[in-house]
Amino acid sequence: MDYSQRTGRTRTGSLKDDRSYNRQRGVSAYRPGRGSGSNRYELRSRNIRFRGKGSAGMTRFAGLNMRAIIMGVLGIVLVILFFFLISSCVRSCKSSKPATSEADARVAAGLSDDLVEDFTAALDQGEALEWIALNAGEYPSEDLPRLALQEPAAIPFVRAYPEMSKSPSAYGESVSRGEVPMLFNWDERWGAVEYDESVLAVTGSGPTSFSMAYMGVTGKNDKTPADMAAIATEKGQNGGDSHTTADFFTTAAKDLGLSVEKFEPSRDALSEVLDSGTVVLAEVRSETLTEDSHWVVVAYENENGSVRVYDPSSPSVCSRPWDPSTIASASTGMYAVSIAEAEADAEAEG
């Protein structure tokens, strides 16, 4: 008996049964290729589904991973929100602090308002002075950079000078008779005006002092230092060690409705003139009140007999009382400035 009879199947029947069995199992079947006689087989894909305990475990494991991923993402979002809320609170807390702690990043926080302002002013001056030093070549002469070194109060003016207008402007403030305003040479309203081969900021003590005296005696504000400088220049009386000659005050007085009389400097004479209710122009020597010879106004006498000096080139001189004998000994000449008699009579009649 041959093999096919022993198994009870024919070869054909065996092959068909095997194909049927394979299809039921979902296994890909190889079929002989058609073509040029070569033995080729075509692979058919079938979806294979795993069932049983192993496949259930895989499903549970995949579900577990997905839940873990979702929880991790939520955790990250919560952490980000937490830090965002903290940073927002910090910013809001900072904004609610007093402005003094953040007034200037160059100054330590927690200082008093006055100390912060003082530091800020000093630091601003330092930065301006550094700029002046680096750009000193932009100035018409060395007078202005030197002024910034000699007088700290003039540093802002010197720093702004290259860009500022060189034309004068009106004083613009009210004045009262009997009250002498304190003016300085480097005021931006007139400091950049040319005078005696420089500018009023440097050489303007005469015109500025005469303007102060005029405003205090008359109560008018129509003659600024620039106006006085123009008169002195027109008359050729700008010059000398103090950049303005003494003759300027006496010759210009008549046109301004003033009386200017010279007297010998002394303690007693100075006190007597001030007691009469007038003001005094004084030319002081170099190396006395300041390094250079210049003009000042002795504005009034204090109750204790000391005097107040309005020096248009030095705020430090203006800030303290002076013994009249010190001012008299420093002066080469003194001039009493008052309303002219004709002007006084006209006012009385009016």
Tokens encoding 337? 């400035």
What's the pLDDT score for residue 81? 62
- Record the pTM: 0.69
Cα 261 from Cα 272, distance rounded (Å): 14
CA 127 vs CA 103, 122, 156, 188, 191: distances in Å = 17, 9, 10, 20, 21
Cα 327 from Cα 282, distance rounded (Å): 9
Closest of 291, 292, 293, 282 to residue 326, by C-alpha: 282
Under a CB-based contact definition with an 8 Å cutoff, are residues 275 and 336 in contact?
Answer: no
Task: List the pLDDT tens digit at each of the 350 positions of the chain.
Answer: 444 444 444 444 444 444 444 444 444 444 444 444 444 444 444 444 444 444 444 445 445 566 677 777 676 766 676 555 555 544 444 433 333 335 688 999 989 999 999 999 899 999 999 999 999 998 999 999 999 999 999 999 999 999 999 999 999 999 999 999 999 999 999 999 999 999 999 999 999 999 999 999 999 999 999 999 999 999 999 999 999 999 999 999 999 999 999 999 999 999 999 999 899 999 999 999 999 999 999 999 999 999 999 999 999 999 999 999 999 999 999 999 999 986 666 666 66
Cα 32 from Cα 105, distance rounded (Å): 88
Which of the 8 DSSP states describes residue 338? E
What's the pLDDT score for residue 341? 81
Compute, in degrees rounded to 10, the torsion defined by CA atoms 137, 138, 141, 146: -80
What's the pLDDT score for residue 29? 43
CA 246 vs CA 207, 223, 225, 283: distances in Å = 11, 18, 16, 8
Cα 283 from Cα 295, distance rounded (Å): 4
Closest of 192, 213, 204 to residue 256, by C-alpha: 213
What's the pLDDT score for residue 259? 96
Cα 311 from Cα 308, distance rounded (Å): 9
What's the pLDDT score for residue 230? 98
Tokens encoding 260? 């200017």
Cα 288 from Cα 293, distance rounded (Å): 8
Cα 339 from Cα 86, distance rounded (Å): 73
Residue type, 328: A
Cα 237 from Cα 239, distance rounded (Å): 6
Work out the number of other CB atoms within 10 angstroms of the CB of residue 229. Answer: 29
Domains contained in the chain, CATH given = 165-349 (3.90.70.10)
Cα 267 from Cα 30, distance rounded (Å): 134
Cα 145 from Cα 232, distance rounded (Å): 26
Cα 327 from Cα 308, distance rounded (Å): 10
Under a CB-based contact definition with an 8 Å cutoff, are residues 278 and 338 in contact?
Answer: yes
What's the pLDDT score for residue 181? 98
Under a CB-based contact definition with an 8 Å cutoff, are residues 222 and 180 in contact?
Answer: no
Cα 114 from Cα 121, distance rounded (Å): 11
What's the pLDDT score for residue 239? 95
